[in-house]
Chains A and B, each alone.
Chain A
């Protein structure tokens, strides 16, 4: 059993987009803040009640809201953020589809939206329109009205199947 006192810091390891990071955190520190402190500023904070999904990342294969996870809890996990989707300077098909379909305006929800789409398509490669809406229901967008996001996920689904 390991006990960390409230005024102590604890060393944690995270594998983010394939690279290893080590940092010291207080137990109360949220994962979203640690990711941003480490330079992954695509991970956004849009609320303080776990509704908006702007902080969504993939942790150990699951999409999660990094604002509702303590960094110490994530110790040892593998995390994928939108920065990790580009391969050799080439956009991921989901990123391409968001561009093609004009699925972003201010871009603040976009990293979380893309990571949730990434998880959705990993679970369900051919989602129906209703399944896309339900699959993205934990991600709020103030700009697009969602229509073009849904079109982008449909297009990404087609592109990924072609791969």
Chain B
């Protein structure tokens, strides 16, 4: 319950954040605080300083031109109201309302909990992550940024500043989250994007969270259906393939065997739900 002692930094600009983080390797950025403060309350982490970025206006914006550009400190609630195909639906299913009022997209992807909701969607959306650090700015595919569980591609002094999402308004989509109760992390979460041309599937993308070290896309399943017509048989094959590629662990949310079966079920649901829209 009681966090360990920590210093606290209120920077006036992003460059001050980068400078401070570069000089203090065990300082941590404080965004929404809804992963970091719970970890501090359990004393799992003991940062020397917290660098509060919540008041930096330069990280808080949501623009749409050819693509959506989402500043790192935009909250889940704001994403859920922004009518971004797929991503807004995913954001609305994170945690509970109070969590969504504080938690941010930049914080979620810098934390990279393997059961987080965003990664399944960010993978299928081909999202990009903008990072600023001591040696300047770089942009990384989310799929490469997500190196492993709790392991983002960030070096010392680097900060996620933006997530960009290509416009997929010509796609049907669905995010299906299996959870024990409202507000929980996913047992498994499946995001799909489907573009159809008549009965034929022009593009199909599927991303899965909760059942591996990190979220994954099944390229085998995606290729199975491209250029073909959807029927029950092929949906079953895709779902089986997606489940076969999962590598879940047994924990309080269920056994590995159950989670693999659930992955198949949720994949089917996601595809059928997307097609209905």
The 7 closest A-B pairs by CB, nearest first: A138-B96, A27-B8, A137-B182, A48-B1, A62-B101, A6-B5, A2-B10
A56: nearest chain-B partner, CB-CB? B98
| Given A50-B38, A68-B102, also A120-B97 (CB < 8 A) | yes
When the two chains form their complex, are residues B6 and A27 in contact, meaning their CB atoms are under 8 A apart? Answer: yes
| Given A1-B11, A2-B10, also A30-B101 (CB < 8 A) | no
A53: nearest chain-B partner, CB-CB? B98
When the two chains form their complex, are residues B183 and A27 in contact, meaning their CB atoms are under 8 A apart? Answer: no
When the two chains form their complex, are residues A138 and B97 in contact, meaning their CB atoms are under 8 A apart? Answer: yes
When the two chains form their complex, are residues A63 and B98 in contact, meaning their CB atoms are under 8 A apart? Answer: yes
When the two chains form their complex, are residues B38 and A49 in contact, meaning their CB atoms are under 8 A apart? Answer: yes
CA distance A133 to B182 in the complex (A): 9
Q: Is B152 part of the binding interface, using a Cβ–Cβ cutoff of 8 Å?
A: no
CA distance A73 to B3 in the complex (A): 14
Q: Is A105 part of the binding interface, using a Cβ–Cβ cutoff of 8 Å?
A: no
When the two chains form their complex, are residues B33 and A70 in contact, meaning their CB atoms are under 8 A apart? Answer: yes
Q: Is A106 part of the binding interface, using a Cβ–Cβ cutoff of 8 Å?
A: no
8 Å CB contact of A68 from B37, B49, B54? B37
Q: Which residues does chain B contribute within 8 Å of A138, judged by CB atoms?
A: 95-99, 183
Q: Which residues does chain A contribute within 8 Å of B97, judged by CB atoms?
A: 63, 116, 119-120, 134-135, 137-138
When the two chains form their complex, are residues A1 and B182 in contact, meaning their CB atoms are under 8 A apart? Answer: no
A32: nearest chain-B partner, CB-CB? B1
Q: Which residues does chain B contribute within 8 Å of A37, judged by CB atoms?
A: none
Q: Which residues does chain A contribute within 8 Å of B50, judged by CB atoms?
A: 27, 70
Q: Which residues does chain A contribute within 8 Å of B16, judged by CB atoms?
A: 1
Q: Is B68 part of the binding interface, using a Cβ–Cβ cutoff of 8 Å?
A: no
8 Å CB contact of A4 from B8, B101, B102? B8
8 Å CB contact of B102 from A64, A119, A120? A64
A51 nearest CB across to chain B (Å): 7
B8: nearest chain-A partner, CB-CB? A27
